[in-house]
Every structure is written in C-alpha cells, then in structure tokens.
Amino acid sequence: MAELGPQRRGERDYPMVAREGWPIVACFVLAAGILTGLAWYVLGSVGGPLVGTLTGVLALWAVWFFRDPVREVPRGESVVISPADGVCCHAGPGAPPAELGLTGGWTRVSVFMNVFNVHVNRAPIGGEVERVEYRAGKFFNASFDKASEHNERCGMVIRSGSGERVGCVQIAGLVARRIVCRVERGAHLERGERYGLIRFGSRVDVYLPEGVAAGVRVGQRMVAGETIIATLPAHGRSQGREGAFAGSAHGVEG
C-alpha cells in the first residue's frame, strides 16, 4: 500500500527520531519497563537493577538506530550525493535492475549500512520521480555484489531539471525485513530530501548515467546528504537521459 510522505519541510523541521521508528522505540521502552518491574518483584534489589540496565540500553539503542540528524546538503544543481550513511562497497560499472527501464551503460555506487549507521535515506539528486518499483526477493548479506540482483528491493528513477536520469535502489540485507519508500511517481524531490528508510542493516545503490564517473572509492565512508559521489554534466548531455519508460509505478512500504 502506498504511503505518501509529509509536505516538504526544512532540514531542521524533522523530529530527531524518524517516525517509522516511533512504534518500535515505544515497544522497547514499554518492554523495558515491564521486564524491570518483574525483575524487581521476582529477583529483588539484585536482579532488578541489572535487568533495568540491560533493557534500558536496548531501548536507547532503538532510539539511536532510528535517529535522523540534520545534514548540510551541498549546493550545485549537477551534484550527486550519497543517499545513505555507510561504506562504499562498489564503485564501477553495473547494470540497473530491469524493472527501472534504464538501458545502456551505467556506473553503480553501492553504500552498505550496518546496524550502527543512520538508516534514513535521502534523494541523491533533485528532480521529478519518474518511476518507483518494488520487487520481492531474497535476503543475502547486503555487502555481497549479488544482492543487487537477488535481494528484495525498491528502486526509483529521478530526472533532474537538466534531463539527467539517476537510479536509486534500496536493498534489504541479511537482517533487514522492511523497506520504506515515501514517494510516488510524479513527486518532486529536493537533493538530500528524506524519502525512505530500511531497517537493520542494508544497502542503497545509485546508478549514474554513462560517461559520469564515480567520485568515491571502495572503502570510503559515506554520509547521507553530504558526501558528493559524482557530478553530472551540464545541460544533460549523457546517454542516461535518453529512453522511454513503460509500466506502472507506485509508492511502496514493503
């Protein structure tokens, strides 16, 4: 079922914890309170503080996992930025998923997120969302190259004001079991705007048009909304802007 995102807000207008995490954080806090109370009742002053400390740490981890910090988004219409926090695990040629309808040669930049990274995803460029496609799949370790083809994923294509198309694919990982994409076809995203989230370790792939080289290297740490991964040519001269799209598109929370 589609879930439309909120009206566009400023970078500092978002809550410190992503709204997708509120129910989970609430469950952790409630469980911590109940378990601590039971421990005090059953184990007394010896077990109560211990259980309270352990469950409290888990509740704080849930808050930390769903944190949504403010980022300083670079300016420049041709700039492509990282959509995710993590480590670059691939920067080179790569074929986009077939459902995105992107043909020709493309460069793939993959960002692997572990459970300690910020998991809120941001738009790599500004422009119109031309396509959003969800595909069920497997749950291999997201750092494996085969995850691009076989894992559960949700991809979108954004067309910039100069006509360049860039693909962006959220990929579920070994323990990730939920991909959230807040946008639908026809939406307009600003560069660095929050558009989704993946829970508990995952990956995001960015597909750059032919002729656009990746400006990052494998092993480099990436910061969503801040790290520049490439620069698009002026006036949309790359082959990535060519080609028609077919098929339905929809917003997904899978």
Query: Active-site positions?
Result: 202
- Residues with Cβ within 8 Å of 254's Cβ and at least 6 positions away in sequence, in order, are 134, 136, 152, 154, 178, 179, 180, 181
Place of tokens 């990535």: 240
State the CB neighbour count (10 A cutoff) for residue 19: 15
User: Using CA atoms, how far apart are residues 91 and 205, in angstroms rounded to an integer?
Assistant: 10
- Residues with Cβ within 8 Å of 85's Cβ and at least 6 positions away in sequence, in order, are 111, 113, 117, 118, 119, 222, 223, 224
CB < 8 Å & 24+ apart, contacts of 60-63: 61/28, 62/21, 62/24, 62/25, 62/28, 63/17, 63/21, 63/25
For 66-99, give one letter per residue: b (16+ CB within 10 A) or e. Answer: bebeebebeeeebbbbbbbbbbbbbbeebebbee
Place of tokens 């620069």: 231
Determine the straight-line distance between the first and last CA of the chain, rounded to whole angstroms. Answer: 8
State the CB neighbour count (10 A cutoff) for residue 47: 15
- Cβ distance 129 to 195 under 8 Å? no
Give the residues across from 109 on adjacent strands. 91, 206
